[in-house]
Structure 1
Amino acid sequence: MTGGPAGAYERMLAVAVAALHEREPERLWPMVAAALPGLCGGEALIYKLGEWTDRSGAMGLSPGAAAHLGGIGGVDGIGGDAMAVLRRGYPFADHYAVAGATRRPGTARRMAGRGWARSRTAGTISRLMDADHVLAIPLPGTATPVTGCLVYRAGGDFTEDQVRAAEQLQPLLAGVEQQRQLLERWRAEMAPREAREEVSAESRLTPRQVTVLLLLADALTASAIAHRLGISVRTVHKHVEGLYRKLGTRDRVSTVLRAQEIGLLPRRVGR
């Protein structure tokens, strides 16, 4: 990390706070991608979420990666063979696919040894990204081998301190992805435009209150919600109290029913 541990911690905290206040799920990962390379000694970053094979799967870019790829038209300008090489994720896919392998971040050079410099992947990223080394930061708890971030840099390999910094960032990345999924779910379940306008005028929920509301609707306890979101039980209770105040309710059942009535949650039959 550049700027010393204190400066890096402040930047990491700023990203976390910004993510918790972001209402648009599609903005979360671009926000993280812009800050993450500098926090672990990189210059550019590609992230991928969900299933990613050598033939399919969406990729997102940091500003640094976009600048390198801009001359060829961004991701859309990458040839099919080169894109397949990037998506294949050598040597990370094989490393993380091994039964019992940890999700600890690692560098291509350390995983592949001397074979890394001679690999097609190394040649491809040198040509496309002007980079020599890659650091993988997989999302903890995922099954697909390369789900997460690939950070690129020129010159020497990432240091052990930079790999440890990436490891410290993994819970933040997991939280951002969980927040994105919950916001996507909320958006998909929202009622028509008229109901959204009523919700906006009446409740004005924060993104964190929305996520707590979704989990209340799933009948999770305060302790379970706290564990799921990585916050304290006391913080959960504060969010719940905020929901009661904004929705004019006094308990969980009436809160969920009121949220369904005004379109914050779908009406579910048989639940």
Structure 2
Amino acid sequence: MLSVAVAALNERDPGRLWPLLASALPGVCGGETLVYKLDDWNETEGTVGIPPAVAAAFDDLAEDELGLLRAGYPFARRYAAGPDRTPLTARRTAGSAWSASPTARLIGEVLDADHVLAIPLPRTTTPITGCMVYRSGADFTDDQVRAAEQVQPLLAAVEEQRQLLERWQRSAAPQSVPERAADCALTPRELTVLLLLADALTAAAIGRRLGISDRTVHKHVEKIYRKLGTRDRISTVLRAQRLGLIPTP
């Protein structure tokens, strides 16, 4: 999982970040397949990532069946009721009602799965974003649920990276920007730090956004200074704007 995380954080295409994670995460917590939900989504719209191996099964679903899966029973109501974002299994959340639910019957038919483990992203509000891991047979064990909890900060970091890279692609000069970033040898992680520097965030605030320590932020900043040939925040942001790496206000 660590190697996949490193690859994700060095990926320049934000659209590839979650598919990279989705390939490795089920194995970490004892699952067989994973579906992730990002951005603003509900029963009819929003970003829902489906693994290619099971995509065909989802294509055959009726609209109301797909909406049933997107509704996130029994997790949506549980997480919406308070700030707790601890991973939970459907069985532990709904009890015996889970097996008799329409959602359980549907995932059995579509994914040949009996159990679901929800891994919400920390600090998310309604709609709750994150992923659901599916498996057949017995429910997820305590150790597997704890493993899911341990990877939550990593998932949050990758999602923050995705949002910042998408913002960068939307706001900076189109087409030539990735090439310019590569010419400056800036990594995707350094680009996200650069964006937050331009937002006038402190090192501590950047660290909180990206899920890293102040010390790691300072190391990224030092590398950015060296690669852009600058010595302080203001000159760095101005040079990045002149190069078209970040938008000019």
What TM bracket, shorter-length normalisation?
Answer: over 0.9
Which deviates more from structure 2 when the two are superposed, residues 122-131 or residues 227-236?
227-236
Aligned position for 1:110 = 92
Name the SS for the 2:159 alignment partner: helix
Aligned partner of 1:139 among 121, 124, 131: 121
* Aligned-pair Cα RMSD in Å: 1.6
The alpha-carbon distance between structure 1 residues 204 and 162, as it changes in their structure 2 partners (threshold 3 A), is same
Supply the distance in 2 between the matched residues of 1:14 and 1:197 (Cα, whole angstroms): 25
Aligned position for 2:54 = 68
Name the SS for the 2:12 alignment partner: coil
Give TM-score, length-normalised by structure 1.
Answer: 0.87
Q: Cα deviations across residues 201-222 of structure 1 (Å, max 9, x unaligned)? A: 3x12111110111111011122
Aligned position for 2:207 = 226
- Aligned-pair identity (%): 63
Aligned partner of 1:77 among 38, 48, 60: 60
Aligned position for 2:72 = 89
The alpha-carbon distance between structure 1 residues 195 and 146, as it changes in their structure 2 partners (threshold 3 A), is closer
Q: Cα deviations across residues 25-54 of structure 1 (Å, max 9, x unaligned)? A: 000000000000000000011001022211
- The alpha carbon displacement at 1:190 in A equals 1.8
Aligned partner of 1:257 among 238, 243, 249: 238
* Structure 1 residue ranges without an equivalent (≥5): 1-11
Aligned position for 2:103 = 121
The alpha-carbon distance between structure 1 residues 154 and 174, as it changes in their structure 2 partners (threshold 3 A), is same
Is 2:190 aligned against 1:209?
yes
- The alpha carbon displacement at 1:87 in A equals 0.8
Supply the distance in 2 between the matched residues of 1:104 and 1:225 (Cα, whole angstroms): 24
Aligned position for 2:6 = 17
Supply the distance in 2 between the matched residues of 1:253 and 1:209 (Cα, whole angstroms): 16
Name the SS for the 1:191 alignment partner: coil
Name the SS for the 2:107 alignment partner: helix
The alpha-carbon distance between structure 1 residues 105 and 195, as it changes in their structure 2 partners (threshold 3 A), is closer
1:230 maps to amino acid: G
Count how many residue pairs are aligned between Structure 1 and Structure 2.
Answer: 249
The alpha-carbon distance between structure 1 residues 193 and 166, as it changes in their structure 2 partners (threshold 3 A), is closer
Aligned position for 1:173 = 155
- The alpha carbon displacement at 1:153 in A equals 0.4
Contact 1:139–1:147 at 8 Å: present in 2 too?
Answer: yes
Alignment of 1:178-189 (within 5 A): 178-189=160-171
Supply the distance in 2 between the matched residues of 1:90 and 1:49 (Cα, whole angstroms): 17
Supply the distance in 2 between the matched residues of 1:123 and 1:129 (Cα, whole angstroms): 10
* Structure 2 residue ranges without an equivalent (≥5): none
Which is greater in Rg?
1
Give TM-score, length-normalised by structure 2.
Answer: 0.94
2:102 maps to amino acid: R
Supply the distance in 2 between the matched residues of 1:52 and 1:32 (Cα, whole angstroms): 20
- The alpha carbon displacement at 1:127 in A equals 0.5
